[in-house]
Structure 1
Amino acid sequence: MNTKRFIALAGALAATLALPIGGSAKASEFLAAQSQGGAAHAKLVLRIEGLPSSDGQLLIGLYDAEDGYKTDQELIGKTVKVDDTVVEVVFDNLLVGRYAFKVFHDENSDGELNTNFMGIPSESYGFSNNASDPFSAPEWKETRFSLPRGRMTQTIDLS
């Protein structure tokens, strides 16, 4: 077989095999990014609404895998001072893919999600997709979302 043809076929096969399983990125976007010599990147804007006060801070965990989500090993963790009842937080230069986030309003800035005597959180919290479960944290499959190339805004309401 001709060496140049073999290299071209091997490259095409490698690009095809590297496509994400489950469609976390569109095949055309992935191939376009590969042909440009790099991965597709995106910006995620997290808009947090319904904060009960402008006190304290937000603690945000961004996750790119179910295992990290379950064990609280975030891809990126951010602490953001709250100065209004609506806050926007930007995550730049993320790879196109699947993500989920957890956020809570640490009103007293003690770094913990405070609870009442029954163990029910007394500070506002939320998850991507505004997912909720009355008895525990929602699962990865309920909170994950696909981040496409470019810019995406996710809005969460903590009221």
Structure 2
Amino acid sequence: MKKLLFTITVLALSFTMNAQENEGITLTVIIENVLSSDGHILSGLHNENTFMKAEAIRSSKDKAEPGELIITFENVQPGDYAFSVLHDANDNARMDFEPNGMPKEEYAMSGDFMPMAPPTFSDAKFTISAEDMELKLRF
């Protein structure tokens, strides 16, 4: 009976420990300077494989309201990521461009750079470790 109880206890503890290892952090993204209530704010958390190529690994679509928008992603695993955000004022679910190639709508991206061309993952990447993280972006 003691062996059975011990085995059940060890098994239960191993499931508990594995569940804790798989829990990620909370990523809070603060988007400053939303200028109007037109359309929606589209945002995405990307890894190197999805950046500028595919659908984000996590995304959000929030009604635009002037001021500040706070987006929270739970259980994000440690690693390198990039974050992009677009104020889709006309709700067509894409970035619109001027004839000269400049964006018509407000956007922001993680990283400390001033792009004159499409950004690369290395331009926009940031690292998530084991602690909750806050990221501030400004339109």
TM-score interval, normalised by the smaller of the two chains: 0.7 to 0.9
Alpha-carbon RMSD across the aligned residues, in angstroms, is 1.8
- Mark the runs of 5 or more structure 1 residues left unpaired by the alignment: 1-35
**Greater strand percent: which structure?**
2
Q: Do the aligned partners of 2:33 and 2:66 also contact (CA within 8 Å) in 1?
A: no
Q: Distance in 2 between matches of 1:140 and 1:54?
A: 30
Counterpart of 1:139 (choices 111, 120, 136) is: 120
Partner of 2:13: none
Aligned-pair CA distance for 1:133: 1.0
Alignment of 1:2-13 (within 5 A): none
TM-score normalized by structure 1? 0.69
Q: Distance in 1 between matches of 2:41 and 2:54?
A: 16
% identity of equivalent residues: 25
**Greater helix percent: which structure?**
1
Counterpart of 1:122 (choices 84, 87, 104) is: 104
Q: Do the aligned partners of 2:86 and 2:106 also contact (CA within 8 Å) in 1?
A: yes
Q: Do the aligned partners of 1:43 and 1:93 also contact (CA within 8 Å) in 2?
A: yes
Counterpart of 2:44 (choices 57, 61, 78) is: 61
Please state if 1:75 is matched with 2:52.
Answer: no
Q: Distance in 1 between matches of 2:93 and 2:51?
A: 19
TM-score normalized by structure 2? 0.78
Counterpart of 2:69 (choices 69, 87, 93) is: 87
1:101 aligned counterpart, secondary structure: strand
**For residues 70 and 109 of structure 1, do their structure 2 counterparts lie closer, same or farther at Cα, with a shift above 3 Å needed?**
closer
Stretches (4+) displaced over 4 A? none
Aligned-pair CA distance for 1:151: 1.6
Q: Do the aligned partners of 2:44 and 2:83 also contact (CA within 8 Å) in 1?
A: yes
Partner of 2:28: 45
Aligned-pair CA distance for 1:94: 0.9
